[in-house]
Structure 1
C-alpha cells in the first residue's frame, strides 16, 4: 500500500532539472514504445525551453544523453513515415508533426547552450561538447529539410540561415572537420559538422527531381556515407568546384556564377562523389547486391540501379557545367502531346518521316520532308526528289490510338519550352529524361530533354524542356566489325525513314543534325545499352547503309546517350 501511494503522489522530476538521475530516467524510457519515448522526450525538452532552466554543463550532458536514448525509437517513427507513402492524410499529418516537432525542439534546446558565455572550467566543459552539439543541430536541421522535401515544400529561409550559422560557428572554432561518432548506436561510423552540412546541401540539389519519399530517403542514407567524399573550400577553383553556398544568405546551394565570389561563399566539387556513384553502378550491373555494397537491406536492385543512374546523370550535368543557354521566353497557351522512351519516340518519328517523305503531291497534309532537306542542302528541290515523289504510291494514314500524355505549354523560346503537367501519371518525369513533343496531329514530333522541374503543389509539376531537334530522322543501328575506311562528310539527305521489316534485328536510334561550335554535326541518339565508344556501327536509313564511328558524348540520360558520329563508309 505504501508503495502504491508513493507511486500515486510522486512527481516525475525532469532529468534536466536533476541531471544525476538522467541514466535511471533513460533506462526507464527504453521500456516504452517508440511513440511514447518521443512524447516523453518532447515533454522534457519543451518544459526545459519553457521553464528557462539555467544552462550549465551538467544539464547539457543530460540533454546529450536523453537525445541518445530516444534515437532508435525516433528512427522507427521516421521509418514508419517513409515506408507508408499512402497512409491516410490524418496519420501523415500527425507523424509529420511528431517528427518535425521533436527535431525543432532539439535544435532550440542545443542552441540555448551554444550562446552561453562561460569562463574557466565551465568554458572548457562547453568547448569539449560543442563539436557534438553543433553536429547534432545540423543533423536535426537536415531532418527538418528532408521532411519539407517529402511534402514538396520549400525549406524555410530561417532554416537555411540557421544551418549556415551553425556551420560557420564550427569553422570559427576550428572543429568543422573533426570526426567523431554522432550517436553511440551508429557504432564505428563517424561524422563531423562538415559532413552533416554537406549532406544537407547535396540532398537539396536533388530535392526538386520528382523523386518519391522512399527514393529521397535512400539518397539521404547514401549521402550519410558519400558526404566524406566532398570537401568544402573557401577559395574557388574553376576546374574542380561545381556548387557554392552563401553563408550569409537565406537559401541553399546554387550553381557557381560570376557574382559567387567573396568571403561568405563556400565551394565544393563532386568528382569523387560521382566516381563513387559510377563505381556502385558498375558493381550492381555485375551482380553485386545493394546490401553487400552498404546501400541498405531494404533497397531493391533494379530500383536502386535506376536511382543511381539518375544521380549519375543529374550530378554529371553539374560536372560538365551544363549551363544551357536560355533564350528569351514569351508566354503561350498550347496543349502538347508528349511521349517518353526512345523506342516509342522512334516509332513516332519514323511515322513522321514516312508521312512527309513518301506522300505524292495530291496527298500531302504538311511540309514535304524531302523538299525541306533539299532546300536546306541545295536551295531548290532536286529532280531526283520530284521523280521519287511522283512514283511513290499513295499512303493511307491509319488512325492510331493515343498513347501519349497531354501537357500544357505555358512559355516557349528558341531553345525550349516551359510546361505544366499533372502529378498523376508523371512519376517518370526527371531531369535528364528524353521526351517527344508535338503540338497537334499535323505537327511533327520534336526531341526534347527535361532539364529542370519544380513541384508547384500537390497536384502539378512545372518542367523546363530543352529542344534538341525539330527534324529528327528515325534510323536503326547495329555493331559491326567492318574495317574502318577514311571518313567522309555526311549529308542530311542521306537519311530517310527505314523499312520496318528490319526492326527485329536492328536497334532503334535517332539521327539529329546538331550545331556544335557553329558547324552542323552528325549525331545519334541511342540506347545507352548499345553505346560502345570503341566499336563501329552499321546505320540503316531505309535502303541505305552507313558504317560510322562514335565521337564525343554530348549528353546522356539514364537509358540514352547522345554522341557525335563520323561516317567511315557507305554501302550501296
Structure 2
C-alpha cells in the first residue's frame, strides 16, 4: 500500500560494495513501502557515484543489479502517478522529483562507465558491456525526458546533443542494432531506444495527459523497431530526419537537405501497424488490446492512435509523382478554412471580392500537386494550411490542396509545395443525427481520386470531429447518413477524415 506520509520522510541507504552485499541490502527493501524503498535506492546511487574508485566490472554488475531490482518500485510508483493524480495532491511534486532524480542518476551512472570505455579505447574489463550500458543510458535519459513532459519541460539542446552523440557512437562502433537486455524481461537496441525518444518528442507530448503519454510510450516499446534510421536520405522514400550535429530533435525532410550528419527514416511500417491496431480495436480484436496495453479502452484509445498518426505520418504518394516544369502560368489561391467555405458556396463565382486572393507562378506540376513561387513574401500560405487554387482569371472549378512545405528559393523568393487533395471539392452541410437537430456544420466533401487511389473523405474544423460521430450529410436534394471514422490528415484548424456511408434518402423539404 502506498503511504503518502513517506513522501516527506528521509532514510539512510547502505553502501553498495559488491553484488552480494547489494543483493542482501535490496532484499530488505522488498518489505519497505515502495516510495521509501525508492528513496533509499536514490541515496544508495548517490553514494555509489560519490565513490572515487575507478569503474570496474564488479561495480558495473552492482549498478546493473540495482537497476534491474528497482524496476518493480519504478513500475508501481509509475502506476500510482498515472492513475491517482487527484489523490496525490501536494505529494505529486515530491513523487515526480524522486522519479526524475532516479532516472537521471541511473543515466549518469551508466555514463561514467561509457566514458571509461571510450577513454581507455575499449581496453577495459567491461568493454564488452558497452552496447548494454549505452542502451540503458539512452533508456533512462528517455524516461527522464518523458517525465519532464509531465511538468511542461521541453528537451534542452544540450540533452539532444548528448543523445545524438551516444547514438552516433553506437553507429560508428557497429552495435546500434545489437539486441541487448534492458532488464530481465525486455530486450532492445541503441537504435530503438534513440528512435523511441525521437518519436515521442514528435507528437507535441506536453499537450497530452500523463496517462496518455505513458500509453504512447508503451506502444513505442513495441513499435520503435519498425522505424529504421538511414544515412542516405531521399525525399521519395523518407519522411523525417534528424541532424546529429545540432541540438534539436526530429524534423521533416526537405529535398534540399544534404549532410553527412543527417539521418532519416520512413514511416511506412509504422503506418501499417497503426492501421492494423486501429482496425483491430474497431472490430473488437482482443489481441490488439493486449499489445496496446491493459489501459487501452475504446474509443479513447482509437482517438489517441489517430492523434499520434497525425504527427508521425504525412501523405507520401504525391511526393513520388513525376514533376513537369511549367512556364508562364499563374494561379489564384485562397488560404484557410474560412476562405474555402466562402469560395465553395454554390453559385458564388466572385468570392475574390470578399476573400483576398494570392497570386503564385506555377514552377512545376504533377498529378499530385504543384510547386509554386511568388514575387513577394506572404504570411497566409503556411505549411499545413488548406488552400484553393485555380488558374488566374478563370471562372473554372477550384482545386483543393494542402501546403506541405514552404521555403525560400535560390532567388530568395518564397516557394510552396502543394499536394492536391481533390479537383472537385463540394461544400456540404452536416447535422447531428441524434434526433436533436443542432447547429449546421459546414464541411467539404472530397470525392474519391481514382487515379491516385485516395478514398473519399470530409474536411471539418477540428472542434467538429469526433470518432464514430453520426451525422446527416446534406448535399443538394439528398441526405446521406454517415459515421465519421479515422483521421487521415490534419492541420491546426482542420481534420480530414474518412466516413462510413450508412444510407441515403431524399430531402423532402427541398424536393417539395
Q: Deviations over 1:323-376 (max 9, x none)?
A: xxxxxxxxxxxxxxx99xxxxxxxxx8xx99xxxxxxxxxxxxxxx78853687
Q: CA, structure 1 residues 545+164, in 2 after alignment: closer, same or farther (shift >3 Å)?
A: closer
**Which whole-Å CA distance do the structure 2 matches of 1:78 and 1:545 have between them?**
50
Q: How does 1:70-469 map to 2 (within 5 A)?
A: 70-86=70-86, 90-116=90-116, 123=123, 125-184=125-184, 186=185, 189-208=186-205, 210-258=207-255, 260-289=257-286, 292-317=289-314, 319=316, 372-373=348-349, 413-415=379-381
Q: Deviations over 1:398-456 (max 9, x none)?
A: xxxxxxxxxxxxxx943379xxxxxxxxxxxxx999xxxxxxxxxxxxx99999xxxxx
Q: CA, structure 1 residues 151+432, in 2 after alignment: closer, same or farther (shift >3 Å)?
A: farther
Q: CA, structure 1 residues 555+204, in 2 after alignment: closer, same or farther (shift >3 Å)?
A: closer
- Please tell me whether the aligned partners of residues 443 and 459 of structure 2 are also in contact (alpha carbons under 8 angstroms): yes
Please tell me whether residue 26 in structure 1 is matched to residue 2 in structure 2. no
Q: How does 1:496-515 map to 2 (within 5 A)?
A: 510-511=443-444
- Please tell me whether the aligned partners of residues 290 and 297 of structure 1 are also in contact (alpha carbons under 8 angstroms): no
Cross-structure match for 2:390? none
Cross-structure match for 2:393? none
Q: Deviations over 1:501-537 (max 9, x none)?
A: x998xx97734799x9xxxxxx973689999xxxxxx
Deviation at 1:30, TM superposition (A): 2.5
Q: CA, structure 1 residues 545+131, in 2 after alignment: closer, same or farther (shift >3 Å)?
A: closer
Q: Deviations over 1:250-306 (max 9, x none)?
A: 111111135642222211111100100001111111112376441111221211111
Question: 443, 449, 458: which is aligned to 1:525?
Answer: 458
**Which whole-Å CA distance do the structure 1 matches of 2:302 and 2:478 have between them?**
37
SS, match of residue 286 in structure 2: coil
Q: CA, structure 1 residues 85+118, in 2 after alignment: closer, same or farther (shift >3 Å)?
A: closer
SS, match of residue 36 in structure 2: helix
**Which whole-Å CA distance do the structure 1 matches of 2:232 and 2:158 have between them?**
26
Deviation at 1:193, TM superposition (A): 0.8
Q: CA, structure 1 residues 119+46, in 2 after alignment: closer, same or farther (shift >3 Å)?
A: closer
Deviation at 1:207, TM superposition (A): 2.7
Q: CA RMSD in A?
A: 4.8
Deviation at 1:87, TM superposition (A): 5.2
Please tell me whether residue 475 in structure 1 is matched to residue 428 in structure 2. yes
Cross-structure match for 1:14? 15
Cross-structure match for 1:519? none
- Please tell me whether the aligned partners of residues 278 and 312 of structure 1 are also in contact (alpha carbons under 8 angstroms): no
SS, match of residue 263 in structure 2: strand
- Please tell me whether the aligned partners of residues 167 and 197 of structure 1 are also in contact (alpha carbons under 8 angstroms): yes
**Which whole-Å CA distance do the structure 1 matches of 2:299 and 2:30 have between them?**
37
**Which whole-Å CA distance do the structure 2 matches of 1:243 and 1:78 have between them?**
31
**Which whole-Å CA distance do the structure 1 matches of 2:442 and 2:287 have between them?**
32
- Please tell me whether the aligned partners of residues 207 and 216 of structure 1 are also in contact (alpha carbons under 8 angstroms): no
**Which whole-Å CA distance do the structure 2 matches of 1:302 and 1:473 have between them?**
29
Deviation at 1:104, TM superposition (A): 0.9
- Please tell me whether the aligned partners of residues 509 and 525 of structure 1 are also in contact (alpha carbons under 8 angstroms): no
SS, match of residue 373 in structure 1: coil
Give 5+ residue unaligned stretches, structure 1: 1-10, 323-337, 340-348, 354-368, 378-411, 418-430, 434-446, 452-467, 478-497, 517-522, 532-537, 547-552, 563-570
**Which whole-Å CA distance do the structure 2 matches of 1:221 and 1:31 have between them?**
28
Q: Deviations over 1:64-112 (max 9, x none)?
A: 1111111110121122222234456532211111011011111111111
Which structure has more RCO (C-alpha within 8 Å, separation ≥ 6)? 1
Q: CA, structure 1 residues 216+370, in 2 after alignment: closer, same or farther (shift >3 Å)?
A: closer
Deviation at 1:236, TM superposition (A): 0.8
Count matched residues. 391
**Which whole-Å CA distance do the structure 2 matches of 1:35 and 1:318 have between them?**
46
Cross-structure match for 1:325? none
**Which whole-Å CA distance do the structure 2 matches of 1:12 and 1:513 have between them?**
65
**Which whole-Å CA distance do the structure 1 matches of 2:352 and 2:116 have between them?**
74
SS, match of residue 183 in structure 1: coil
**Which whole-Å CA distance do the structure 1 matches of 2:309 and 2:33 have between them?**
40
**Which whole-Å CA distance do the structure 1 matches of 2:234 and 2:200 have between them?**
22
Deviation at 1:134, TM superposition (A): 0.6
SS, match of residue 65 in structure 2: helix
SS, match of residue 123 in structure 2: helix
SS, match of residue 249 in structure 1: coil
Larger Rg, first or second structure (1 or 2):
1
SS, match of residue 254 in structure 2: coil
Cross-structure match for 2:503? none
Cross-structure match for 1:37? 37
**Which whole-Å CA distance do the structure 2 matches of 1:71 and 1:317 have between them?**
36
Q: CA, structure 1 residues 315+432, in 2 after alignment: closer, same or farther (shift >3 Å)?
A: farther
Q: CA, structure 1 residues 159+509, in 2 after alignment: closer, same or farther (shift >3 Å)?
A: same
| Structure 2 length-normalised TM | 0.64
